Amino acid sequence: MSRSPYRPFVLRPIPLPDISSFEFHEYLPHNSLLWVWIKTGFFGFVSLLYVLARAIMLGVDRYRTTKAGVSALVVASSLFFIVMYSVFLYVEIAWEPRNVMLLALSMAACTGPLRDEPSSPSSDVASERDSANEAESEREKGFALAARLHLV
């Protein structure tokens, strides 16, 4: 704030920087959550908050259950990016393609299975049972071949 030379106790606001080079400066508020609320209404706003909160909850759960290593590092950095982006939505125009792509990748890393994790415990049991059945059928084929060759 600057003071007027004629009235020393009256403050004049300092003009803000010119952002007219930004294409949508007249159409997007600097609060991107507010913009989502304006464009999609109450249910769209609540849906966005739910998606962000659910991704954070699943990321925290995944981090707690992941063993230390590269997977834990990926989940932690993805979780921190989601939290940072959620805060960033309040103060800046955040819906740019690069940022949204990073948000989507971070949400996928926090909510989807990673490569070195089993998808579910029941699939492990099924895969062990299938491998045992395959080994038994291979053994039976070996006995049948040996019987045909009169080796047994």
pLDDT at 8: 58
pTM of the model: 0.59
Residue at 7: amino acid letter: R
Q: Is the dihedral of CA 38, 47, 94, 34 positive or negative?
A: positive
The token pair that represents 130 in the structure block:
């299938």
Confidence category of residue 6, pLDDT binned at 50, 70, 90: low
Q: Residue 55 and residue 79: Cα distance in Å, rounded?
A: 8
Q: Residue 45 and residue 107: Cα distance in Å, rounded?
A: 18
Question: Angle of helix 70-91 relative to helix 32-65, nearest 10 degrees?
Answer: 160
Residue at 74: amino acid letter: V
Mean pLDDT of the 39-52 span = 91
**Position 131 pLDDT exceeds 80:** no
**Position 1 pLDDT exceeds 70:** no
